[in-house]
Amino acid sequence: MASFWSYWIIILTTVTIVGISWILFANRKREQQPADKTTGHEYDGIEELDNPLPAWWFYMFVITIVWGVGYLIVYPGMGNFAGAIGWTQVGQYDKEVAAAEQKYRDMRDRYLALPIEEIAADPAVRKMGMRMFANNCAQCHGADAKGRYGFPNLTDEDWIYGGEPATIKATLENGRQAAMPAWGSIIGDKGVADVTQYVLSINGRDANESQATAGQTVFQTYCVACHGPEGLGNHALGAPNLTNGVWLYGGSEEQISQTIRAGRNGVMPAFKDTLSEDKIHIIAAYVYGLSKQ
C-alpha cells in the first residue's frame, strides 16, 4: 500500500476512535434527572426523558472501544502496520493448506502407487478427482467435462492425443500446444472450398462431387502428413480424426472452411508446476473414468 493511503487510513481510524470516545464520555450523565426534565422529544403521547444510559450499556460501549484498539494493535488494520503478531490472511491460508496437505498426503500417496486403471472406479478417488477437476479444469471443459467450442469433450471415446491413462496424465503434466496451420494463403479460396467439400464427403455428408474430388488431391498434398491418407488423424501429432463427425471448432461447412483457411491454435496448460504428482494422478484417473462410464 502506498504511504499516502497508509497514513490516510491510520489518521482516519484514529480520529474516528477518539471522536466516538469523546462523544461517549462528553455526554455521560451520572444523576437521574427529574421526571419533568425531558429532551423535548414527544411522539404519540410519549415523552423522552433526559436520563443517563444504564451503567451496563455505557460500559458495553467502553469495552467495544477498548477491544477495537486492542485488535488494531495485535492484527493489521492501521495502514501498513503489520500488527504485533504479524498475522496475514495469506499466511493463514498457507498454514491451513499445509495442514490439509499433511493430513491427506498419506492417502494420496497410497493412490499414487496404484495404476490409474485400478483406482479410476474407486468412489473415494472419483469424489476427490471431481473436486480437483472443478477447481482446475472445469473453467474450460465445463463442470460436466463435456467441453464446449474449442475445448474437447472428456466423457467420450474421441481423443486428440490419445485416451490411455499414461497419455492423459502426460497431457495434464506437460500441457498441449495445438498447431493447425492456416492454409488460406497457400491453397487459395478455391483450395479451401474444395478441401471443405472433401472433408464433408469423408463424413458421409452431402458434398459437391467435383469439388470433393479436387479437394482430395489438395488434401493428399497438404493435409495427409498430419491427418493421414484417410483423414483418421494422428494421436502423436494431436491431429484429429476428420471422419467421425466429432468437431472441436464446429462441423458446419462455414466452420470447417474457417479452420482450413485461418488455422487453429489451442492451448492446454501444463499443471506439473501447480499441482503435485499425486493430485495429477487422481485427476487423470477421474478423467479416464469419465470416458469409461
The three-state DSSP-derived secondary structure of 196-220 is HHHHHHHCCCCCCHHHHHHHHHHHH
Please report which confidence band the pLDDT of residue 36 belongs to, taking 50, 70 and 90 as the band edges.
low
Residue 10 to residue 69: CA distance in whole angstroms = 12
Please report which confidence band the pLDDT of residue 91 belongs to, taking 50, 70 and 90 as the band edges.
very high
Residues 6+ away with beta carbon under 8 Å from 160: 152, 176, 178, 233, 235, 238, 239, 240, 248
Per-residue confidence (pLDDT) for residue 213, from 0 to 100: 97
**What are the boundaries of each domain within the chain?**
3-74, 102-178+270-290, 184-265
How far out from the chain centre does Cα 134 lie?
8
pLDDT at 29 over 70: no
The amino acid at residue 66 is V
Contact between residue 169 and residue 284 where contact means Cβ atoms under 8 Å apart: yes
Q: Cβ atoms within 10 A of the Cβ of 165, count?
A: 20
Under DSSP, the state recorded for 245 is S
Residues 6+ away with beta carbon under 8 Å from 238: 160, 161, 176, 178, 179
Residue-wise pLDDT tens digits, 134-165: 999 999 999 999 999 999 999 999 999 999 99
Same fold? 102-178+270-290, 184-265: yes
Cell numbers 498426503 correspond to 105
Average pLDDT (163-176) is: 96
Residue-wise pLDDT tens digits, 56-88: 999 999 999 999 999 999 999 998 999 999 999
234: helix, coil or strand? strand
Tallying the residues shown for the chain, one arrives at 293
Residue predicted with more confidence, 132 or 292: 132
Right CATH number for 102-178+270-290 from 1.10.760.10, 1.20.1240.10, 3.40.50.300, 3.40.50.150?
A: 1.10.760.10
pLDDT at 101 over 90: no
How far out from the chain centre does Cα 32 lie?
62
Residues 6+ away with beta carbon under 8 Å from 209: 201
| pTM of the predicted structure, to 2 decimals | 0.68
Residue 18 to residue 191: CA distance in whole angstroms = 80
Tell the CATH topology of 184-265: Cytochrome Bc1 Complex; Chain D, domain 2 (1.10.760)
